Structure 1
Amino acid sequence: MQWWDRAQRFRAYWNLWGDHLPLKILLSPYRAIVAPLVKYIESLDHQRPGLTLTVILPEIVVRHWRHRLLRNRLAARLRRALRSLPRVVVTTVPFHV
């Protein structure tokens, strides 16, 4: 399945569940996550300078400490990258697996 097929499928799911919230799909080469998200959030910050943005990230919580070694710590990396923006709040929601 190609990326645009997955994006369209996710958009269809979103229309069923979260139609009241706008959805923006960011395409990213090479599975890069942090840099495209930071660039998009910075562009939102420049478009609406008085607005406080809240970024909510799922954070995977595992049972055993050794499983933490397998996680990429995306939330921590994104939080560090957005630290310089004063009106951007980054929060995490635990997701237990």
Structure 2
Amino acid sequence: MSNIEGQHSPLFRREATASSGRQWLGTIHLAQPLSSWLISGLAFVILLAFITETERRLRLAQNEEHKAVLTQRLQSLNAEANQLAQMEIQRRWNM
């Protein structure tokens, strides 16, 4: 049969169209290139370092706040103790 009789010749061979029909989602890669693994690994390490550093800084800030509160409290207790000591000294001298 010729093209004139109603049958048209396909643009691609049957084997090529059958092969591309099975791979309509793309080719299967069982192993990714090494560069993808390196980029992913490097991104993970950077993220882990960032999270660790952020947690360390938060912990230090909390410790500094805690130290400031404790120092202030100790100073007020020291002032109270000095007042009590002065009152006790005055009481003993006035006896």
Normalization by structure 2: what TM-score? 0.20
Identify which of structures 1 and 2 has the higher relative contact order when contacts are C-alpha pairs closer than 8 Å and 6+ apart.
Answer: 1
Q: Which of the two has higher C-alpha Rg?
A: 2
Kindly indicate which of the two structures has a greater share of residues assigned to helix: 2
Kindly indicate which of the two structures has a greater share of residues assigned to strand: 1
